[in-house]
Amino acid sequence: MKVFFAVTFGILVLLSVAAWKIKPKSDTGGKIPLVWVSDDNPTRREQIALFNRLHPGYQLRLDPGNTGMEKVIVQSLAGVGPDLFDCYDAYSLAAYVRSGVAWDITDQLAKAGIDVRRDVWPAVLPLITRDGRVYGYPTNAAVNAIWINQDLFDRAGMPYPTGSWTWQDFLPIAKRLTLRDERGRIKQFGLFCDWYNWPQFVMQWGGRIYTPDGTRCVLDSPQAVEGIQFLHDLMYKYHVMPSPVEEATIATQGGWGSGTISFFAGGKGAMALGGRWWLCSMRSYERLRLGVVECPYGRIRVFRGYGRATLINGNSPRRHEALEFLRYEAGKDYNALINHQADALSPAIRYCYTPEFLHDAEYPQEDFNAVWRDVMKYSEPEDISPFVNGQAAARILNKQLDLVKSDQKPVAAALRDAARQVNEEIGKTLDRDPSLRARYRKLSGKGRPE
Amino acid sequence: MRTRRYELLAAIGFLLPNFAGFVVFTAGPVLFSLAVSFSNWNLQRTIPFQWIRLGNFIELMHDPNFWLYFVNTAYLMLGMPVAIAGSLFLAILLSQRLRGIVVYRTLFYLPTFTSGVALMILWKALYNPDFGPVNAAVNWAISTFHISDLVRALGGTGVTAPTWLLATKNVLGLDVEQVRMVRGQWGLGARDALIIMGVWIGIGGSNMLLYLAGLSNIPEELTEAAQLDGASNWNIFRHVTWPQLAPTTFFIIVMSFIGGLQGGFEQARVMTLGGPAGTTTTIAYYIYTKAFEEFQIGYASALSWILFSIIFVITIINWRIGHRELSY
């Protein structure tokens, strides 16, 4: 028994040593390795290749398998996080900052001569700035406009819409372009609009999700109700936009470039609310003749601005080296590439005001680029509250809006319940977080929302 | 004496690696989570760590979502008896002496080999309300047998195919926002879709194998004696096979309860993201969202321990009842 135990132990030790010896080492050829957690958009590879070409001392690698705020935070806190990661909204930035993962690079960017408040589109500033400090640089900037399938307009003998217009102007056009088959089923929709665009309808009717200081959810205001009611009516009253059931027929497995985009590009809809980044996917539809017009508005000519940003992991041992990537994102080469790839708009405003942006020699048929930057001027970021966890608020809002979307609950009742529950969640957050509690009291003079 | 000591040392030597692994990777985290459940530990550093005693557990009892998701979890277990009965039926079929029976056994066991995520993606396509094969069959049945006209004649409003993963309706008419039944929610929806899928996966799985093993262990003389006494096939099953399979059934029921109470995470993550309107969010998925999306690790740990307690109590009850039934 003794011999058997000793031999087994010896073999295990030898195997361990052997495994340690033959463990593959990451061969970066003396270069500084950087890992960027981002989505697997095909354009990302080219952006990385350009960085590696311009910076021979670095080896940047994409890690699309660990996207998602929860993964980034947990991995970074455990010491195995990426060097760079994407941030999609102000809520996520708040979570990254509060968990100590996002690195405050205000001073570093200032030293590099980068002034984000001067250089980038205001709509994406909430993705990188918090309490006056800067935590990243935008990867791109986006706003939605109305994509037009010109063939379907031509077939209906209708002129393409132009310029600034309201949803009331839009409705008769969308109705004429909604076609049914002999069984009465809609075979062509007037509009495709992903439900997650609901905040834009709230904004356009003069409503807000939160008060400007974020101390209270006010989604139950008459303006917000009216905006969401119109979005609901596009499906159930005017029947120009697919309901969830109709939408399910188009939905694939989600992910980048699927669903509504492929359905619109496949000729199932005459118009679609979407961003310039849709082109990354739609350019592969060779016969598709596209136009773009500003999105209609309700009472206020305002559009939801959004985008992505790159943050640096404050726990990364290579965080100083990772700054080079942000400098690259602020530079001409990267911004020109973003505009050329149509990965939305370049984050730096000035690169959208070049002749190359307006007329890309490789895509001469895309004569609508001026629309994007013009609409961007009217864009505003979505409301957020610093006093509630974004995921918790989203869980509440999505539940109520799911019921509206599936026509199971009146809009006013759903938004009233949503606002009440979010305010309760704010109260719970304040109970947990003394620093937020003090800040809340300073702003509102109260201990919690009423 | 000396030999015994050497043997003891050798035994400890062999057990130590496994025991150390168990302590570090299983027992340690479990005890750690118990301790954490009495704290407000949050991954957001602005919230200072505090021991809050039973604070999480008290909050949990007043959390309406916990009760809603507990009901969802229990509802998804409604398919359990059907899955168990199906496994038994299949095992009886596959225990027949037929040529090529091994092939049949393999075919029925195939879903267990296949990745759960792949199966779920497949079922998601099957449930597509417009072009999914499930609704194609339902629509065919509705039109062929004039079911809609029949329902209208009976004073109803006609019948349409369910929208499955998009619908909040369910067989019991459970409300979406409160733990109660309402007439408007009666129908078929996402929860029922997950139950049907679960039954399909469960029938040909490891339960079938356990029953097959149980059936092969029944002494042939018992069956032969019953046959000699003129017992019908049904009576042989009822009075010989079923009692002999009682220990297997007991084990399967206990394991199914444990699995059912812990389940629903994969389905929610892959197929529904817990929706529509939270109707497919189970306790397991809620623990995940609390811990890794809202970063309330303390609260999520308390939820986990409540779930453990529920499983423990139900297992004890099962054990008591099962033990009484098994004492023949």
- The domain segmentation of chain A, as residue ranges, is 32-140+308-363, 145-305, 390-444
Q: What is the pLDDT of residue A35?
A: 95
Q: Could you report the per-residue pLDDT of A303-327, keeping only the tens digit for each? A: 999 999 999 999 999 999 999 999 9
Determine, for residues A1 and B7 on separate chains, whether the beta-carbon distance falls below 8 Å.
Answer: yes
A433 touches chain B (CB under 8 A): yes
Q: Which of B5, B12, B15, B44 best probes binding to A when mutated, by most A CB atoms within 10 angstroms? A: B44
- Count other Cβ atoms within 10 Å, centred on residue B311: 17
**Average pLDDT of span A379-404:** 92
Q: What is the pLDDT of residue A255?
A: 41
Beta pairing partners, A311: A85, A136
CB A96 within 8 A of CB A309: no
Which chain A residues have a beta carbon less than 8 Å from that of B45? 98-100
Closest-CA residue of B relative to A390 is B294
pLDDT, chain B, mean: 90
Burial of A297 (0-12, 13-18, 19+ CB in 10 A): buried
**Average pLDDT of span A327-337:** 97
Q: What is the pLDDT of residue A263?
A: 86
Which chain A residues have a beta carbon less than 8 Å from that of B6? 1-2
Q: What is the pLDDT of residue A257?
A: 44
Which chain A residues have a beta carbon less than 8 Å from that of B10? 1-2, 5
Q: From residue B261, how far is each of A295, B310, B312 by CA, in Å? A: 48, 8, 11
Q: Could you report the per-residue pLDDT of A137-161, keeping only the tens digit for each? A: 999 999 999 999 999 999 999 999 9
**Average pLDDT of span A12-39:** 85
Confidence class for position A410, pLDDT limits 50, 70, 90? very high
Question: What are the phi and psi torsion angles at A300 (to 5°)?
Answer: -125, 135
**Average pLDDT of span A331-355:** 96
CB A164 within 8 A of CB A371: no
pLDDT, chain A, mean: 92
This prediction has a pTM of 0.85
**Average pLDDT of span A38-56:** 93
A413 touches chain B (CB under 8 A): no
Share of chain A above pLDDT 90, in %: 76
A168 touches chain B (CB under 8 A): no
| Regions in chain B scoring below 70 on pLDDT | 1, 325-328
- Count other Cβ atoms within 10 Å, centred on residue B1: 5
Q: What is the pLDDT of residue A27?
A: 67
Q: What is the pLDDT of residue A254?
A: 42
Instruction: Give the CATH number of domain B49-326.
Output: 1.10.3720.10
Q: What is the pLDDT of residue B39?
A: 96
CB A268 within 8 A of CB A138: no
- Count other Cβ atoms within 10 Å, centred on residue B184: 11
Q: What is the pLDDT of residue A326?
A: 97
Query: How far apart (Å, rounded) are the C-alpha atoms in residues B190 and B275?
Result: 8
Determine, for residues B292 and A9 on separate chains, whether the beta-carbon distance falls below 8 Å.
Answer: no
Q: What is the pLDDT of residue A387?
A: 93
Q: What is the pLDDT of residue A256?
A: 41
Angle formed by the axes of helices B2-22 and A2-21, nearest 10°: 30
Closest-CA residue of A relative to B48 is A433
Which chain A residues have a beta carbon less than 8 Å from that of B292? 70, 74
Is a pLDDT exceeding 80 seen at residue A258? Answer: no
- Name the region of A241 (left: φ>0; alpha: ψ -120 to 50; beta: rest): beta
CB A232 within 8 A of CB A404: yes
Determine, for residues A432 and B10 on separate chains, whether the beta-carbon distance falls below 8 Å.
Answer: no
Q: Which of A9, A98, A249 sits opposite B44 (nearest CB)?
A: A98
Q: From residue B123, how far is each of A29, A337, A349, B132 by CA, in Å? A: 46, 40, 46, 9
**Average pLDDT of span A228-248:** 90
Q: What is the nearest CA distance from B303 to chain A, expressed in angstroms?
A: 16
Q: Which of A248, A391, A403 sits opposite B176 (nearest CB)?
A: A403
Peptide bond into A64 cis (omega under 30): no
Q: Which CATH number fits domain A145-305: 3.40.190.10, 3.40.710.10, 3.10.129.10, 1.20.1250.20?
A: 3.40.190.10
> How many Cβ pairs closer than 8 A exist between chain A and B?
91
Q: Which CATH class is domain A32-140+308-363?
A: alpha beta
Q: A126 is written with which tokens?
A: 């909430």
Decide whether A32-140+308-363 matches A145-305 in CATH topology: yes
